[in-house]
Structure 1
Amino acid sequence: MGKNGPVMNGIKVLLNNNIEVLTDENGKFLFDAVKFGNHILKPSAEDVQFDELKVQLTMSTTDLIVKPSNYKVCFFVSIDSASGINIPWTINIIGTKYRHEVQTGSTGSGCIFLKPDDYKASIYISPQDEEAGIRFGPSEHVFTVESQPIKKLTFSQFLGEIHGIIQCLESCRTLTVSLRPSKGNYGSPRTTTATQGKFIFREVVPAEYLLSVDKEEWCWKEPTILVVVNAKNVSAKFEQTGFRLTLNASHRTTLNYVTNKGHTGKLEVSEGTSRECVSAPGKYVFTPASCHKFGSAPLTWDTSSLQLLSLIASHHQVTGTLISREPGPFSITVKSEQNSEAVIGPLIASHSDKSVYPFEIWLENGETVTLIPSSSSNLFQYSPSSFTLKVADECMFSVVQFEAERALFIKGHVKPALKGVTIKVIGDGEELSFTTNAEGFFVAGPLDKSQSYNVVAEKVGYIMNPPSQRIEVEGRDMSTLKMSFNAYKLAEIIVKITDENGEPLEGVLVSTSGGKDYRQNSLTEADGTYIFQSLMPSDYFLRPMMKEYNFNPPSQMVEVQGGATVNVEIKGVRVAYSIFGHTTSLSGEPESDVMVEALGIGSHCSGLQEEALSDSQGNFRIRGLTPNCDYKIRLKKGEGINSHVDRSLPKERDVHVSGTDYKGLVITVMRPFLQMDVSVIVDAEPQFVSTLTAELYRDDSLDSPVHSVAIGNHPFFMLPPMIMDNRTYSIQLLSSLSQNHYEYIIKPVSFVANSSFIHMTIPFKPNLKMVDAEISRSTVFGLLFFVFVILIILNYSKVQPFVLQAIETYYNKRPNNNGKSSTKVISQSQIPCDTAYIEPVNVRKRMKVRKT
């Protein structure tokens, strides 16, 4: 073995499947004492294959040259364990004459025997593996099989590298770069740290990837870069284009900005949360240019901190116009709901149209204001005269258009000159008032020229002539009217009342009567005076009245001449005194509408009684108490009196009245306890208690319960607190027990809510319904029939002949069509199909003799 090829030693050679030898170090083998004839040689080895040789041994046979027919070629597929792929690989082998396939094992190795030839070997990669980024190097092996086996041809998985740089607007700090597959579920995301703007990913499985820098607050030319790793390393470059500004705006707006380095620009900001990019580093100052105002503008922002910028509108722009054919110093008064006012103006006419006066105001969201046009010259009237609006959460443009035109003015005077005359101008349900000056002149206006008016002049103590004047203005082109009134003074009585010390007495009731059906009762004012005005000439009777005082004179007759002023002075003398006090609750709150009385005690004062009602602040004053008397102070009793008060602390108090008022009396009152508690015990077996629910009804609304209480497992329960309102209530128990199985009747229990506590017991005694022991005749018949059928089924073979005989007898004996019974022999086919037919053994047929 081995001529023209390497010497192969240790090869096993089998002769005729019987004798075995091994080749020596020279590749030779020898079989001794072999007979002449035909023989079969079978060489075999581990790494080569031989064809079986048929040898005819003769005298002329020389040495045999044996060569392998196939040589072993082995492949190894090396793949990264981190990829998670560990499957058999198919290797395609293409020769000049033949094609072969070999599949690797779980270790990645696979071998095949090939004939000498030139070959190309490559790995088959499925679409799924290719999508997962599986690549091998080399992509194919080119080899020649000559005279030696090939031990190992290796395919190694290709793992690439991704190199990249990051270009920053300022110095690049330490940044994190992410790498993730662009599609599919192959592989997991990876990150690396870029230092000085450079980064690298090693051992990257071939595939498509997305690269990104984990710096969302920066803007990038390409925030994500698609890279494809196939059979070589790749590179990528990130370029920062700016800084990301995050805004939260309540409304759309434009932001103009300037930086500390002089960069300017503007941003269009949408409503809600948005992100914008600014290209220059540094500090920014943003100024909103919008019909909204955003808090404390301008706003500052720094690229080194990148904080959220909030734009919450605090005010909205509202615009309108005023139109006037005549120029004037117009203004707009803005009146809020709280009656605060702000004036906008003077308004400036539009450059394009001098008759148009635009105006704008800034108002808060939801604010309600009234716009009132006016002019400092007060010569105009306006349509509409005012406009009320509620600001929406948006800008409001051209909400109103006021039209101004010269108004009507009424000028006049009162003769003789009289100050303080009220001039009332009444028109179209509206009344305006004006006053004359010291010379008696007045100016009423501005007034609407489209209306007609009544003008009335009034002053207490005077009669005007004429009392009123009618002005018809509609259809007349005028702006000023003139008129006059004549005033005639009436008589008056000035009453002044003082006490014995000369101090004015306030609140004295002065009754005056006289003249023609004249009567008036009035109280003196703080200065102790009252003026009875507009009196006709006559005699008048005056009488002052006030508890605790006697007056001098007690009454008098006063003569009044036409237009005269009569002064009357009256002295009051104190003859009784008062107790000043205060009613309060336990918590210190004032108690109002409490009736307090003072009862005289002692032999000389026992018949005296006075009372007073406390006001909203709890203060009271008991007047008319006799000096040198003792009084018992207490709450007044009686039906309908102090019904909201239970008692007082102390119950009574003794007070001695001397020659002065008694002050500082405090009475603490207690309100009645109006809460009522109701407790109930259900008299029932324990197993029935949990089935019960209690419902409380009021007598005037029996269709809907006031309260509903689930009793639970304990028979005792309490209703929610009630008010003692003296109404009738009832408690109704409801049970979930089925009345098909239990008999029970639950009657409602009534009570009146007039006490603080009440307890009651409600019985519940259900009885289990008894099953009727008597069995009806139909039930007995049904039971017997059922037993009979069971016996027939169990003894079918014994009763069958009797059943058949009964059926035969029935059919033979039943009536014919003439109503007569007939005898008929039935055949087997006439028996019902569900009955087995058996020929009766005792039936004999009667034979008829045929006559011939």
Structure 2
Amino acid sequence: MFSPPHIDVSVNSPLLGVKFYQAQVDVRGSVVCKETCGSSVSVILLRKDGISKEQMTVSLTDQSSEFSFSNVLPGKYRIEVKSYSPVTMSGDDIWCWEHSSVDVDVGADNIEGITFVQKGYWVSVTSSHGVDAYLNQPDGSHVNLKIKKGAQRICLESPGVHELHFVNSCISFGSSLLRIDTSNPLPIYLKGEKYLLSGRINVDTNSLGGDENLPENIPVDMLDNEGTVLDGATARLVSSGIDQSTAVIYEYSVWANSGEKLIFVPRDMRNDGGKKILFYPRQQHVSVTQDGRQAPISPFSGRLGLYIEGSVSPPLSDVHIRVIAEIESQSASLKLGDLALETSTGTDGLYIAGPLYDDITYTIEASKPGYHVKPVGPHSFSCQKFSQIYVQIYSREDMDEPFPSVLLSLSGEDGYRNNSVTGVGGMFTFGNLFPGSFYLRPLLKEYAFSPPAQAIELGSGESREIVFHATRVAYSAIGRVTLLSGQSVEGITVEARADSKRFYEESGTDSSGSYRLRGLQPDTTYVIKVARKGELDRTRIERASPESVTVKVGHEDIKGLDFVVFEQPETTILSGHVEGKKIKELNSHIRVEIRLASDPSKIESIFPLPLSNFFQVKDLSKSKHLLQLKSALPSSAHKFESEVIEIDLERHPQVHVGPLSYRIEEDIHKQELTPAPVYPLVVGVSVITLFVCMPRLKDLYQAAMASVSASSTTAKKDVRKLVVRKKTY
């Protein structure tokens, strides 16, 4: 293309100086912005024919929204408009346009009238899930949106602050409302944080009857696996039954985090005095595992709870009613014998127990303190008031301390027995007694009572007061038993003996080490000491100090009779020393041997005798042992004997034995060959010859042979080892 495109000439003579130049034109246009365009808006001219990569950029100003490209050579071009944000480093356009680019074919003439119109403002949205939404624009209108999963851009057509709302979303992105300011359109990141769980409750109208009203809504508790209430929802009535054969429907929903394991429990919280609805099952377990829309919660079925009505005759209020499950219930989580519900009767003697789950049967129990209640029907009971005996014991003496506890023995008809102890002060009440004849007797060592016993006739619901007067006839010895450190010792037996009158009393120490010997007769001398019983007999205590105390009982208690007991040591020590002939020469050859008495074949310890001839062994077992000296000398040349001593370390953990003695002899005897006697042999031969010749002399021969045999037989002596046993305690 050239400029000018043509020149008209009239040729009359040679014409020189006609020039054509390559065409260069101007491209002009304008940008229409929602607000002031400013320098952030740029218009770019790009060549498209591939001849060159020519590019020109023009930025607008705050004063003008027009643009112009000069000296543009002919060719095909694309003109683009963009708005840049100094905050955004990506270089992406932050405005949206009716047309963001236009293609032009530049010739020899200028191009004008190119217009770019801003449509709105780009907002980048990245979402983890697809969701329906709408925008509330500054002018009050709203625009429906469909946000897809992933990254996308939304064009906001009006400047100002927009509100983004989600429509019926089953996924929560942390907030149901987002505000977007076109003056600072920051990227929006939508990440699903919670998931919507929805459920339904179907209430059977057949169970309600005509007098019961439906609740407007039903609260539903949301619990964790440990039973802690996390949140709650409200199930609202969405449809009513057309007739009595249909159910009404309540719906509820709640947000939950991914991975949660939840328990939903509906409750009828009405307190208007009417009957309540129970739900089957009692609870539903839900796990939030999948990403996205969750499956509906399994529905609940609701129906009016079971109510048990009964009465008590004669009418009594505050009779305690207990409802017990007869079998296991899956709905109520009850086992056989579990308590399902408790209530009480009113002033008219009537009761209503409920609501109860109707999948099992129940047993009714009734009770009231001071009354005998027995069933007379499935849900009705009869009551009979018990009788009472009030017992008061007074002392005939002035006492600084409260009267001690007294054993009361009450017997009645049909083998009735009741042994009870009064409190301090001598008062007691026998309750829950049926009408009849009774016999009451008080018992307390050291006291005589007037009267000794009392016969009582009781009517139905009658209360009788019985008074006894006590007289002191014997007295007590009081003290403590402690260790040397002052620590109290429990379980030690202390006894009091009056041998002259053959009186004997004993008592044991309590946790504070105190004891009280009751029943000591006046004007009597007693020897009081720690007896070998209880702890003392189990060998933990070795002895007591003092060994005994002699007291003469007058007409008052004797106090301050204290004893100190000594414990046996925990470590066993067995010691001893050895004496005997040639002890210095034999010391290195003597051994001390200790065996178990219960198993003599088991050697517990064996060791050489020390040079001092004194030995000591510690930490042997607390049992009986056998102690003996042994010799290391050859038994063929020396004969060594020592006594065996039995030691009881169970009774006496530390024992010294001695002196231990021994006997030793050198074996110097030698066997000598002795010729056999000839004369008895000659006599024997003669007798045999005579026997052969004279058979009648057979008896004489046998007698002679017996005599010869007796004279030639060597007598043997049994040697028994003498074992000397010493018991050491």
**When the two structures are superposed, what TM-score results if normalisation uses the length of structure 1?**
0.37
**When the two structures are superposed, what TM-score results if normalisation uses the length of structure 2?**
0.43
Whose relative contact order is higher, 1 or 2, with alpha carbons under 8 Å and at least 6 apart? 2
